[in-house]
Structure 1
Amino acid sequence: MVATQFTIFFIFSFFAINLVVGDDGFARIMDSKLFGMKKEKLSHFRLYWHDIVSGRNPSSVAVTAPENNSLTAFGMIRMIDNPLTMGPELSSKMMGRAQGLYSFASQEGIGLLMAMNFAFTEGKYNGSTITILGMDSVFSEVREVPVVGGSGLFRFGRGYVQAKTHWLDPSTKDAIVRYDCYVLHY
């Protein structure tokens, strides 16, 4: 008798759970192994981001001007397609491009909202990206910005980058920033 009651309870519980977490037409629980998610890894790599504002072929262009001649450039948005290299020299090996935008999002200092993909073009990461989204307080020595996702080998990626200005030309606004990237991925 107890065994029968337990069996009936188990069957009803199974169906009740299926109603809550089962296939409801638009969402379902899936086995992560179907996506190649085996063992999570932590990768660290160092890249140099070249923000070329001046010259005949800039990699960073303004798409909006700051409002009211703001001293902090508040409101300016720049689209970027910046080279990512292994070393600080633009002539060093190109590893990919930083594509996206940054906007001047602070009225009381130089604070950039960074929204960009590091699109890799070399080695085993060729065709993969990491997505960076967050605040960058430019004049802090080291800034930390979240990695919120990725594609290819960085699918389901998360982590952070640390940015440190390597070189800045105050007259042209050209800059080289070292990015140390720490990404958890499968």
Structure 2
Amino acid sequence: MVRLISPILATQFTIFFIFSFFAINLVVGDDGFARTMDKKLFGMKKEKLSHFRLYWHDIVSGRNPSSVAVTAPVNNSLTGFGMIRMIDNPLTMGPELSSKMVGKAQGFYSFASQEGIGLLMAMNFAFMDEKYNGSTITIVGRELVFSEVREMPVVGGSGLFRFGRGYVQARTHWFDPSTKDAIVRYDCYVLHY
């Protein structure tokens, strides 16, 4: 006795194969190495703009600095040209180092100008607080230290800031010329999903 597939089951198989065909076409493109994908597969729904204010503590002095020189300036340059500093700087909610720490600025800055103090900044803001724990934003740009407001691009992110882009504005909150320690206020504007 031969059993026939019920019409409902046949319809379900047909729908399943049609959806499978379209899903495969969304993932596999014609170029071989590149393909167009549906943003929704990555949870990318509505884009949002987030603003947050942080204080970046560049601690150069003392027994436990968060910023250390890995190269010396070229020919004792007055602008520091050629010096590179690796950083693991605290990011806090307020300007006091004792205020709540929400993450670390990890990366480096290099003295990239022979005329004036101009830095190349390349750092991740690695967040450790609450819902942002494990998320990062990446900042790469030029910082003219003695300008009142410095603007640098946010070129990417991870975690909650995946596909992030935007900019930061840096303002010196405090600087000690004898120790070279500094506190910089960062206003971050990030578009993300």
The one of 26, 34, 46 equivalent to 1:39 is: 46
Q: Deviations over 1:25-64 (max 9, x none)?
A: 2111000110111000000000000000000000000000
Question: 1:63 aligned to 52, 62, 70, which one?
Answer: 70
Residue 169 in 1 paired to residue 176 in 2?
Answer: yes
Alignment length (residue pairs) = 167
- SS of 1:29's equivalent in the other structure is coil
Whose Rg is larger?
2
User: For residue 160 of structure 1, what is the aligned residue in structure 2?
Assistant: 167
Residue identity in the other structure for 1:107: Q
2:98 is matched with: 91
Give the alignment's Cα RMSD to 1 decimal: 1.2
Equivalent position of 2:5 in the other structure: none
- Stretches of structure 2 lacking an aligned partner (at least 5 in a row): 1-24
Percent identity between the aligned chains? Answer: 90
Match of 1:82 among 79, 83, 89: 89
Runs of 4+ in 1 over 3 A off after TM superposition: none
Partners of 1:46 and 1:110 in 2: how far apart? 24
| Equivalent in the alignment of 2:138 | 131
The answer to whether the aligner puts 1:102 opposite 2:121 as a matched pair is: no
The one-letter code sitting in structure 1 at the alignment partner of 2:146 is: F
Deviations 1:145-174 (A, max 9, x none): 000000000000000000000000000000
Aligned-partner Cα distance in 2 for 1:36–1:173:
44
Identify the match of residue 120 of structure 2 among 113, 119, 133. Answer: 113
TM-score by length of 1: 0.88
- 2:61 partner amino acid: S
Structure-2 separation of matches of 1:171 and 1:123: 36
How many Å apart are 1:24 and its aligned residue? 2.5
**One-letter identity of the residue aligned with 1:182:** Y
SS of equivalent residue, structure 2 residue 179:
coil
Query: In 2, distance between residues paired with 1:114 and 1:23?
Result: 39
Structure 1: 5+ residue runs without aligned partners? 1-17
Q: Given that residues 23 and 29 in structure 1 are in contact (C-alpha distance below 8 angstroms), is that contact kept between their aligned partners in structure 2?
A: no
Give SS of 1:160's match: strand
